[in-house]
Amino acid sequence: MLYFWTPSKFENVDGYQCSLCQPTLNITISQNIALTDEIEYYYIFDCPGEDAFSHWVYESFICLPHFLQIRDIYPQVKILTKNTKKYVNNYFKLFGVTNMIVNHISVPRNACFSHRFYH
């Protein structure tokens, strides 16, 4: 199924930060990456107010269909969120999502996807 817009893709992400009170996702890109390294895939489920329940659900988790679209292409995509609250795991389990949830990017060669309303 194709949705009305597709997530943005960023390569070799070193870090990211959501801007408070603005629909902006600030991405830091690594410049010197060995192309021989294996690439890891992440989908960013974050928003300003990282651990605020309503903000996370209505500004991040609402994009679950877009994550599922990416997961169809990259089955090993990891869920990337700085939110460490229990409800994060619970929401994904409720919808049958078993992908690994991580709080940071572990390899320099990567591709990160994010919903477009933060660009």
DSSP code, position 21: T
Any idea where the domains of the chain sit in the sequence?
Answer: 8-118
Of 43, 36, 50, 56, give the one whose Cα is nearest residue 13: 43
Cα 46 from chain centroid (whole Å): 7
The whole-chain average pLDDT of the chain stands at 82
What pLDDT does 10 receive?
83
Find out whether 18 and 25 touch, Cβ atoms under 8 Å. Answer: yes
Euclidean distance between CA atoms 66 and 4, whole angstroms: 10
pLDDT tens, position by position, 21-67: 556 677 777 777 777 678 999 999 887 766 788 888 887 888 899 89
Give the residue-averaged pLDDT of 11-19. 79
CA–CA–CA angle 7, 12, 13 (5° rounding): 70
Place of tokens 């300003």: 48
